Structures are given as structure tokens and as C-alpha cells.
Amino acid sequence: MDKDWTKDLEHDEYELNIDMIMADALQAVEETKAGCYVNLVTASAFGNPTTYLQPLIEALYGDKVKIKFIDQCGCGGYVLRVWKY
């Protein structure tokens, strides 16, 4: 994506499948062009993504990304913002 965008990893099949959340989150980061960010909105069932998703993204992308936890949504999900450099 050549713009800032949001990837919904919160509903339907994602609610019970952390492996799918992680795989699709990494794909979303990969698809995001440098200079843009993707908001990864994750299912509430797995808790705060700073504990399971952020370490994985940091390990794979290192200093090519900046990550910020935004907030927990009113519906229970979480938003993790990943900027690509």
C-alpha cells in the first residue's frame, strides 16, 4: 500500500486463530510501502499485541520499522501502528 491504512485482524476467523493474525499482520507490514504505516487491529482474545506481535515484527524488520501501541478499541480489539522506513 502506498498510503497509510488499516488491516482488520479482529473479527471472524481471526478471533480464534493467533497464527492467522500473525501471518496476515506480517503480510500487511510487507505490503506497506516505506514512508507509510499500517494499523494492525487485533482480536481481543489474545490480549495486547505488544506481547506477541510487536517482538516478532521487530525481530524480522529491525530498524526498518517503528512500532507504537495506539489503544484498545471500544469493541475490545487492540491497535498497533507500524511505520515502514
**Distance (Å, whole) CA 37 – CA 5:** 7
Q: Cα torsion at 58, 60, 64, 65 (round to 10°)?
A: -40
Domain that holds residue 55: 5-84
Confidence (pLDDT) at 45: 93
Question: Is there a contact between 82 and 32 (Cβ–Cβ < 8 Å)?
Answer: yes
Give the chain's domain count: 1
Packing angle between helix 54-61 and helix 18-31, nearest 10 degrees? Answer: 40
User: So what's the pLDDT on residue 53?
Assistant: 98
pLDDT tens across the length of the chain (85 residues) = 999 999 999 999 999 999 999 999 999 999 999 999 999 999 999 999 999 999 999 999 999 999 999 999 877 899 999 999 9
Task: Tell me what pLDDT residue 76 has.
Answer: 86
CATH number at residue 20: 3.30.110.40
Look up the pTM and report it.
0.95
